[in-house]
Amino acid sequence: MSVPSVPPVDFVVIDVETACSRVSSICQIGIVGFRDGIEVFAYETLLDPCDEFFPSNVRIHGITSDHVHGKPNFADIHVTVGSYLTGQVTVAHSSFDKSALAAACAQHGLPPIETRWLDSVGVARRAWPELPSHRLNILTKFLKLRHKHHDALSDARAAGMVVVRAMAHTGHDLATLFAPAPKRGSAPRAAGDGPLKGQRIALIGATRDGPLAHRLAGLGARIVAGVGTTTTLLVIGNAQTFGRFVHAHADYRRAEELNRAGAAIEIVEEDVLLARLEAVAA
């Protein structure tokens, strides 16, 4: 198989689908290259995994043994994959694809592909910490990206766009995305008095050391790490951006569960709460 000519890229993205629980059983692979925020090449192929197909895996991606009949196996495309990835920054959404690639190389007795891995899950968490989940299908809905989940090429393309959007959103370059995320500070101390004195407030869509936390603490509230039995208010910050995803957040579900059990945790959006406090002050 001839080695493809690879245009200059800032990073490449890889996604694989597997036939069974063994991560070496790659049955589809998709690779996309990006430069200056634009897709510059795409590669996709079905593969004979040299393994069995589990019904549970087929239900996820729809690929069966019939689809891969006569297709190349991983050894046949190892050089091609290496030409795209070697020496590049390679993005994958979670560590699964990295593990699958290493396992497939080992299964076929081939040398590992040397590349520098970047996890787009971590990138997304850094860019949008308020989201309840950073699964790829949740991110693509949030970012309004076209996406066919569990199609290797579509998944690779979507993960690449997550990185592109995250860089635009945060102003960070690739080098910064590799650096550890800055540690969050501690919650501000509650003021001795104020209209929120005695309230224990958990936040969704805002950090415990951010502007909203400081404003509420200045009004007497104690900012807590998450919803518990002593929480009195769950405040949803950045509600317009957060949208319907708030209902999937673990703290939101926990508050509803506690309320059904007899607690009295009020769930309120930031703007509503602040308007109420302003009305009281007036």
Q: What is the pLDDT of residues 159-178, one digit of tens each?
A: 999 999 999 998 999 989 88
Does pLDDT of 238 surpass 80?
no
Distances (CA, A) of 162 to 11, 13, 117, 121, 242: 13, 11, 15, 9, 17
What pLDDT, on a 0 to 100 scale, did the predictor assign at position 239?
57
Cα 74 from Cα 29, distance rounded (Å) = 9
Provide CATH code, domain 200-281: 3.40.50
Prediction pTM value: 0.72
Are both 11-178 and 200-281 of the same fold?
A: no
In the chain, where the domains are located: 11-178, 200-281
Rg (the chain; Cα; Å)? 23
Integer angstrom CA distances of residue 258 from 223, 232, 251 = 18, 11, 10
Q: What is the Cα–Cα distance from 270 to 237, expressed in whole angstroms? A: 5
Task: Mention every residue, 6+ apart, whose C-beta is less than 8 A from residue 214.
Answer: 188
Q: Is the pLDDT of residue 68 over 70?
A: yes
pLDDT of residue 244: 60
- What mean pLDDT is predicted for residues 47-69? 97
Q: Say if residues 30 and 153 touch (Cβ distance below 8 Å).
A: yes
Q: Confidence class of residue 125 from pLDDT cuts 50, 70 and 90?
A: confident
CATH entry 3.30.420.10 includes domain 11-178? yes
48-57, 90-99, 185-194, range with the lowest pLDDT: 185-194
Summarize the confidence of residues 123-129 as an average pLDDT. 88
Cα 238 to Cα 56, 166, 204, 265, 269, distances in angstroms: 38, 17, 8, 19, 8
Each residue of 13-35: pLDDT tens digit?
A: 999 999 999 999 999 999 999 99
Tell whether the torsion through CA atoms of 256, 257, 261 and 263 is positive or negative.
negative
Look at residues 96, 78, 112, 85 and name the one whose alpha carbon lies nearest to residue 22. Answer: 96
Query: What integer best gives the mean pLDDT of the chain?
Result: 91
